[in-house]
Structure 1
Amino acid sequence: MSVQDLRARIIQLETEIDIHPEALKKLQHEKLLVQHQLNTILDPIALLPLEISSEIFHQSLLPRCPPPQPKASHSPMLLLNVCKTWTDIALSTTSLWTGIWIEFPCSDSLAQLLSIWFQRARNQPLSVFL
């Protein structure tokens, strides 16, 4: 092969290298969409009207003594880690975020977490227990 042929081949390979990440990105996105559709079909909660699934999630907090703690292992935070559908339901159910139990000593990130928690409660009355 000549120098010109080799340079042309390098340019051709660079072009293909540039195309493949975009194709991979598109396929990964399409896979996520199809996985979401499958999860929706298989998840009975996803088939319920939002009002019913929200009430089920709300009932998961009862009894609320003490109220939820801002930890990943406690409801409603736990509901955010199941799947996208459950995350969407939990975030749209403001009543899940109207009470919080704070134990001392607390972490440095508590102020940021409380801000997020209160935003999720939107305009609902809040109860903070220390």
Structure 2
Amino acid sequence: MTASREKIFEALGDPVRRYILELVATGEQPAGMVVAAVQQHTRISQPGVSQHLKVLRAAGLVSVRAEGTRRVYALDPAGVGEAQSWLAELVDPLAQFAQPLDALATEVARGQRVRRKDRAAGESSGRDVRPA
């Protein structure tokens, strides 16, 4: 597992951080609203919530933007996609080979068409065409 994936899954290991992700998954949330919602959910200080947000940012699971003096948090699709990608590899470890195999199948079919075309051209000209 890559370092970024390790950070992602370490971040996801904490229930408070998972709850924060659920909050920001509904849309952008100002930091104050995230803190208030988390404090209603569990006993935690504002600096504690800020630390969880910092871990989620470092893992690439949330992004933050400044809006005046406020900080607004949102789910980062790239980090979520990285987690989904790793999980998908567990379910279907051969999926990474699907596209190259499709390309190979296309090349094999192309070669078969060329050979059929060459055979048909040879038969119409009366030549003896044998497969290579």
TM-score norm. by structure 1 comes to 0.27
- Structure ranking higher in strand proportion: 2
- Structure ranking higher in helix proportion: 2
Give 1 or 2 for the bigger CA radius of gyration.
Answer: 2
Higher relative contact order (CA 8 A, sep 6+): 2
TM-score norm. by structure 2 comes to 0.27
